[in-house]
Amino acid sequence: LVDYPKGKDIIGVKWVYKTKLNPDGIIQKYKARLVAKGYSQQPGVDYNETFSPVARLDTIRALIALAVEKGWNIYQLDVKSAFLNGVLQEKIYVEQPQGFISKDNEEKVLRLRKALYGLKQASSSSMV
């Protein structure tokens, strides 16, 4: 928790809830995710650039062809929660999430150190 910074925009947050079902349609678990209301971010103020590095299809095809020619094994991986591991370059402040507002510090906000789903720069920060 930090004091409300003068002259800085405070980004709202909201909870997104999801119910996970097993193949039989029975509830397996409940999930909750805190997301930023990134649509309120202003370019040049809250973020400088946005991008999501993705390999072009022709590059992937060329690498597969090279691997076949050389007899190499190909592996793939998915980094779960990659966006949440991205370190932010900008100072981003968000409101305290509903249900977690500190009684003695209601006027304070949170300063993010790592990216949060919904931020404009979340995908690019995970690659830095």
- Which tens digit of pLDDT belongs to each residue from 74-117? 998 877 776 677 788 888 899 999 999 888 998 899 999 888 88
Question: Is 33 within the bounds of a domain?
Answer: yes
Question: Is 47 within the bounds of a domain?
Answer: yes
Q: Is the pTM of this model over 0.85?
A: no
Question: Is 30 within the bounds of a domain?
Answer: yes
Question: Is 82 within the bounds of a domain?
Answer: yes
Contact 91, 105 (CB under 8 A): no
Question: Is 2 within the bounds of a domain?
Answer: no
**pLDDT of residue 47 exceeding 50:** yes
* Identity at 29, one-letter amino acid code: K
Distance of CA 114 to the CA centre of its chain: 8
And the tokens for 2? 């930090």
Domain around 52 = 10-125
Question: Is 61 within the bounds of a domain?
Answer: yes
Question: Is 86 within the bounds of a domain?
Answer: yes
What total of structural domains would you count in the chain? 1
